[in-house]
Amino acid sequence: MKVAVIGAGSWGTALSQVAAVNGHSVVLWARRGEVARRLNESHRNPDYLSDVVISERVRATNDMADALDGAEAVLVVTPSKFMRSTAEAMRESGCSENVPVVICTKGVEAGTGMVPVQVFGDVLGSPDRLAALSGPNHAEEIVLGTYAATVVASSDEKTALFFQELLGSESFRVYTSGDVLGVELCAAFKNVIAIAVGISYGLGLGDNTAATLMTRGQAEMGRLVAAAGGDPMTCMGLSGTGDLIATCMSRHSRNRMFGEAVAKGVTVEQYEARRHMVAEGAQACRTIETLSNRLGVELPITDAVRSIVWEGADPEQAAHALVMRDLKPEFY
């Protein structure tokens, strides 16, 4: 079938390859015409994963209407801060009301506290045809066919099963879930914890500190998911524990690398200019605050990351404030 992939970053490029290897015809939408032209000429993305030859089943375009025309499935892989504008552009470009759409963006919308599936449902309607994909999936490995797994969550089981069949393969195991909210909150939250782990390593702290931040970060994740109405067990799955481990510990993790840079005084703008990539956790530590305030959930690690990244707090002082908090039972 024809599959439209909206977003030609590293993850969009990798998922295009996954769909193409599975035998589908893929149209990859790139924001810049130059990227689309070079992809079509060389079958390489000039900006991301440029060492990898992309399947000839992938055609690139910077015309969204062209990408969506006749598409039988859509994968959205744009940065979270653009999710509403992307949904609006898809609607204006003639995205069918019936075509299944899986959102691979990870984040929470500023101001509203909506997760991506909620944003796309708000703009495009027909929420039952929407799904979310998340898991321990670094694009650098997925594009090469290295063994990995992910989860597709949808309120409609048929939609989840549709994308399971579309993307699943021997090297890319796709599981299904009905807990869309839980999967999406885990997807956003783990990036924040990865920044915290990166900051700790940037400060010269060790693996014990990193493990503590990951474990207590997962406790924060569970509290937020439960309060929002998701299933806390989701936090133990691929979008929770799985993605948390990969994002906090991998050499590919832009959020961990960003945290290490922040510990040395690098700003969000400087990092994104140097790496040409967005550290999603930088946005998430701000946007999650909307939800935590609304739901009355305590998120001390998230608050510390936000204070360092956006409010100029000293990383060592923020770390000291965390360890001086009152002691509590582990599970409360």
Contact between 288 and 303 under an 8 Å Cβ cutoff? The reply is no
Contacts of 80 (CB under 8 A, 6+ apart): 105, 106, 107, 108, 109, 116, 188, 280, 283, 284, 287
Q: Taking residues 72-79, what's their average pLDDT? A: 96
> Which active-site residues does the annotation give?
190
pLDDT at 271 over 90: no
Task: Evaluate whether 126 touches 2 at the Cβ level (below 8 Å).
Answer: no
pLDDT > 80? residue 57 = yes
Q: How much is the mean pLDDT over the chain?
A: 95
Over the stretch 180-231, which tens digit does the pLDDT of each residue have? 999 999 999 999 999 999 999 999 999 999 999 999 999 999 999 999 999 9
Q: Please report which confidence band the pLDDT of residue 155 belongs to, taking 50, 70 and 90 as the band edges.
A: very high
* Spatial contact of 312 and 266, defined as CB atoms under 8 Å apart: no
Q: What is the pLDDT of residue 317?
A: 96
pLDDT at residue number 252: 83
Report the pLDDT value the prediction gives residue 272, as an integer from 0 to 100: 82
Give the pLDDT score at 275: 76
d(CA 117, CA 128): 10
pLDDT exceeds 90 at position 38: yes
254-263 and 268-275 helices cross at what angle (nearest 10)? 130
Residue 313's Cα: distance from chain center in Å? 26
Q: Which domains does the chain have, with CATH numbers?
A: 2-180 (3.40.50.720), 181-323 (1.10.1040.10)
> What is the pLDDT at residue 251?
80
pLDDT at 331: 82
Q: Given pLDDT bands bounded at 50, 70 and 90, which one contains residue 52?
A: very high
Radius of gyration of the chain, Cα coordinates, nearest whole angstrom: 19
Q: Are strands 58-61 and 25-29 parallel, antiparallel or unpaired?
A: parallel
Q: Rounded CA gap, 92 and 287, in Å?
A: 27
> What pLDDT shows up at residue 241?
97
What pLDDT, on the 0 to 100 scale, is given for residue 279?
78
Residue keyed to tokens 């994002």: 247
Q: Give the mean pLDDT of 152-172.
A: 98
What 3-state class would DSSP assign to 51?
Answer: coil
pLDDT at residue 74 is higher than 80: yes
Q: If you ran DSSP here, which 8-state letter would residue 266 be given?
A: -
Burial (CB count within 10 angstroms: exposed 0-12, middle 13-18, buried 19+), residue 17: buried
276-to-46, 162, 266, 281 alpha-carbon distances in Å: 12, 33, 14, 15
